[in-house]
Amino acid sequence: MSIRKIIKNHIPRSRLSGRLWEKDMKMKKDARKRLLLIADEFIEYLGVSIDVLDITITGSYANYNYTPYSDIDLHIIVDYDDLTKVEDLSKEFFHAKKSFWNDRHEIKFKGIEVELYAQNSDEPHSSSGVYSIDKDEWIVKPKKFKEEVDIESVMRRYKKIKREVDESIKDSKKEDSEKPLDRILKKIRKMRKSGLERAGELSDENLTYKVLRSNGDLQKLFDLKYKIFDKNLTI
């Protein structure tokens, strides 16, 4: 798929996804029933006795900026402190469980992959759209985007950083080192952060990050980083 087409796919829609939502912005009954079932299986898989405070959907499928690359972000809301008072232990436990589950399962609803995550109850809402599947109501109701996307500007920015990505991969292979990869990954994270702070989700920087991710450029960096890491620890 062309880069221009990928960028166009990230332009916000005029309505929520018809695969999950009715026209009045209520979740479709079959979607709610299926997502609750998936959530129940994930809760049982966690294997610990902990109160579930809510089950929510967040991210782009609870908003107008969903794309063909988007997942359904299904969050199980729990209080990490119910598991243990040891600082960061609960976070590491739930992160490991989430990674293990998502790596080994490819569960889809109407062709959309469902990504699960146990979210701490005091974690702030970072998304502009959050829906409680458990209560069947909006916690944060999304608003339509008014900004326009400058496709040519995003194209130019993507081409520039893509050259830097390719150079980093070449240098990393030549040096047999993760350092060039770490530098470009840090630059990409900083770029996205500054864009979100400056102009929000439709900033050129954030859209460039999404194109890098959708086109597989970020995955190439991570794959090579892990490969070199493993190689350097192998005798």
The model's pLDDT over 84-100, given as tens digits with 9 standing for 90+, comes to 877 789 989 999 999 99
Q: What length does the chain have?
A: 235
Alpha-carbon distance values, 24 to 21, 137, 139, 203, 224 (Å): 8, 12, 16, 29, 46
Q: Helix, strand, coil shares of the chain as percentages rounded to 5? A: 55, 15, 30
The model's pLDDT over 41-87, given as tens digits with 9 standing for 90+, comes to 999 999 998 899 999 999 999 999 999 999 999 999 999 988 887 77
Residue 125 scores a pLDDT above 80:
no
Residue 206 scores a pLDDT above 80:
yes
Q: Is 58 in contact with 127 (CB distance < 8 Å)?
A: yes
Residue 30 structure tokens: 């079959």
Across all residues in the chain, what is the average pLDDT? Answer: 94
Q: CA-to-CA distance for 178 and 229, rounded, in angstroms? A: 7
Give the residue, 83 or 225, on which the prediction is more confident. Answer: 225
Over range 181-199, report the average pLDDT. Answer: 95
Burial class for 179, CB neighbours closer than 10 Å (0-12, 13-18, 19+): exposed
